[in-house]
């Protein structure tokens, strides 16, 4: 059931297709997406964020070294889900997505491929 049928007013952005039933969310959208306003400043470095949640994530990952994501194969922990996925692919599944265009070499990480090319092909 949409907001019209629930008797809720839809607030529309005048600059894009964004809509929200919450006026405060629309204001946040305009400030962050169209005006570039970043109200949340890190107390430890020069990082600034549009949203309080983004500042919290930054602080946890960068300054507090919080690692909420766990590998299901070993005791590796990562600050981001993507880091754990890359770890599993390369360390446990040995998937090599990065192929050299000049020979048969394959690597699990782009930096390994870049190093290979610098050493052998340049």
The whole-model pTM stands at 0.55
29-53 pLDDT, tens per residue? 888 888 888 788 999 999 988 888 9
pLDDT band at 111 (very low <50, low <70, confident <90, very high): very high
Q: Is 111 helix (H, G, I), strand (E, B) or coil?
A: helix
Distance CA 43, CA 53 (A): 15
Domains of the chain, by residue range, sit at 1-35, 40-65
Instruction: Name the residue among 71, 72, 40 with its Cα closest to residue 57.
Output: 40
Given this model, what pLDDT does residue 8 score? Answer: 62
Which pair of tokens denotes residue 25?
Answer: 């969310």
Residue 6 has pLDDT above 70, yes or no: no
81-110 pLDDT, tens per residue? 999 999 999 999 999 999 999 999 999 889
């Amino acid at each position: 059931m949409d907001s019209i049928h629930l008797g809720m007013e839809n607030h529309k952005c005048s600059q894009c297709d964004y809509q929200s039933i919450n006026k405060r969310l629309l204001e946040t959208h305009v400030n962050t997406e169209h005006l570039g306003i970043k109200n949340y400043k890190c107390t430890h470095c020069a990082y600034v964020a549009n949203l309080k949640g983004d500042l919290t994530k930054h602080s946890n990952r960068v300054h507090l070294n919080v690692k909420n994501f766990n590998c299901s194969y070993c005791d590796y922990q990562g600050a981001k889900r993507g880091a754990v996925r890359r770890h599993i692919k390369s360390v446990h599944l040995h998937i090599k997505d990065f192929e050299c265009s000049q020979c048969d070499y394959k690597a699990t990480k782009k930096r390994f491929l870049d190093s290979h090319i610098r050493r052998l092909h340049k």
